[in-house]
Amino acid sequence: MRVLVADDEIALADLVARGLTQQHMAVDVAYRGDHADELLAVNDYDVVVLDRDLPGVHGDEVARRLAARGSLTRILMLTAATSLTDRVAGLELGADDYLAKPFEYPELVARVRALGRRAVAPVAPVLERGGLLLDSNRRVATRDGRHLDLTAKEFGVLETLLRAEGRIVSAEELLEKVWDMNVDPFTTAVRVTMSKLRRKLGEPDPIRTLPGQGYTL
């Protein structure tokens, strides 16, 4: 899951981002509304945690523009405004959920995960193909009943390939879905992670490499 945290309280934004990263999410951060709007226009996020009181471009306007683009990105408004009028206004702008500051971190994670499931067409949390089984809720993966000890990136790559249901997945798409904006687009991260994943999956290799195109199961 890829998430954008947009909040001008730098310490809070960074803390939320670190926490979500520890939950195996790819997280980008914006401290201004104009920066958040730019990132949302060019990246495919599942969820944006959006503060309403952003400098540059107000959070309300960021939400309006996102809705106008017809984006599937889900909006969790995270704000100190707690009145019923504020909550209703936020939801009417296109927000999918609303969480007032201060908040409990476990609730934030639960709400982000719930919105992430709504950002794409409904899929089963347990994916299976050719002896591979991946439970995205429990973060467990097996092959022919054998537990696979995968890193967060390896798990994300395997999950993306399984969700593609045989479709070719490019390296660029893997970078978009599994890594964050700080990754070098010319990095060998996908190739290196794919190599390590293959070793853990064992023989016969279930992943096909199509030169110049990408990977498929």
- 130-139 b/e (C-beta count within 10 Å ≥ 16 → b): eebbbebeee
Mind listing the pLDDT tens digit for each residue in 110-124? 999 888 877 555 455
Question: Residue 183 pLDDT more than 80?
Answer: no
Tokens of 11: 């310490």
What phi and psi values does residue 208 have, to the nearest 5 degrees? Answer: -100, 135
Q: What is the pTM for the complete model shown? A: 0.61
CB 111 within 8 A of CB 49: no
Question: Residue 192 pLDDT more than 80?
Answer: yes
Is 97 in a helix, a strand, or coil?
A: strand
- pLDDT confidence tier of residue 81, bands split at 50, 70 and 90: low
Question: Residue 80 pLDDT more than 80?
Answer: no
Other beta carbons within 10 Å of 28: 20
- pLDDT confidence tier of residue 125, bands split at 50, 70 and 90: low
Question: Residue 197 pLDDT more than 90?
Answer: yes
| Strand spans (E) along the chain | 2-6, 26-30, 47-50, 74-79, 97-100, 126-129, 132-135, 140-143, 146-147, 208-210, 214-216
Mind listing the pLDDT tens digit for each residue in 146-181? 999 999 899 999 999 998 888 999 988 888 888 876
What are the chain's domains? 2-118 (3.40.50.2300), 126-216 (1.10.10.10)
Q: What is the mean predicted confidence (pLDDT) over 14-27?
A: 90
Torsion of CA 143, 149, 151, 154, to 10 degrees: -20
